[in-house]
Structure 1
Amino acid sequence: MTAPRYWLMKSEPDECSIDDALAAPDATVPWTGVRNYQARNFMRDDMRVGDGVLFYHSSCAEPGIVGIARVASGAKPDLTQFDPHSPYFDAKSQPEAPRWQLVDVQALRKTRVLGLAEMRSVPELAEMQVLKRGNRLSITPVTPQEWQVIDCLLAL
């Protein structure tokens, strides 16, 4: 049995908020629209059903962790890449060789907002990828130690 893995996954709240995810059937949403190869590779190659997810709101008044979720499916083609009416359409991607993947994410609970300033104030989180200068990835790995520290912070 492999050790659990942990991830931080960013979503713009007007696209899919933690409330939207919790209100979805089985509190599960497809994580569509990832158009970065490194983030895609995390989903395709590294994520496993049951992995922990820090649900993060980005591009909003108060960016930060807003919920706990889990990976609910293996990687599969993101169908938005084939929809010419989707903002995530990719004319170069073909159904027989899809370029973009997604996983389903099941929201488990909403938390208080754990913002960037608070995370930056915690020495144990200093190396967390989301806090590194220039990081723009929508999906980043989280170490077991970082997960544990965040879990304690969210319990406060």
Structure 2
Amino acid sequence: MVHVIAQPDFRDMTCMSGEFRAFIGDLIKKRTWIGASLSCPEKKSPLRGVTVGIPIEYWVDELADRVRDAWREAAVRLASLGADIVQVSLPSTRHALPAYYIIAPAEASTNLARYDGIRYGHRTEPEHQGESVGEEFMTTRKEGFGEEVQRRILLGTHSLTTG
């Protein structure tokens, strides 16, 4: 997965630099990231020194039994590989979804603002020579972005412009 993510996307001008991409490539070749040692049979405790925290806030009554069992099995497996399993508290977890619904649209609004059809992105040619720049922007964005993206841009712009 890291190898796929590390590939450049020539359609994205915000893509990571070649230098950083090479650094990630070296990690892939050396297999030095955490978890690579899981496939190394010569080590009895490949996760020795790794601490895995299980948040108590995630153990809610509504959690499906199969999900709870999967967590337990994963904890047992990680412990058998040498990891220390500890209980942790993430009291701000309850704010994660509301924060996401503010931050994600604001990010969409600011990141997609450059795709105005003038500098970057899809551009609709005006049907009439007298069409204003504002109308051209509006038509371009309507054609270039789907309804959900437009909704997120609008919500993000609203959240950025209000207190």
Fold-level match, TM-score > 0.5? no
Q: TM-score, normalised by structure 1?
A: 0.19
Q: TM-score, normalised by structure 2?
A: 0.18
Counting strand residues as a fraction of each chain, which structure ranks higher? 1
Larger radius of gyration: 2
Counting helix residues as a fraction of each chain, which structure ranks higher? 2
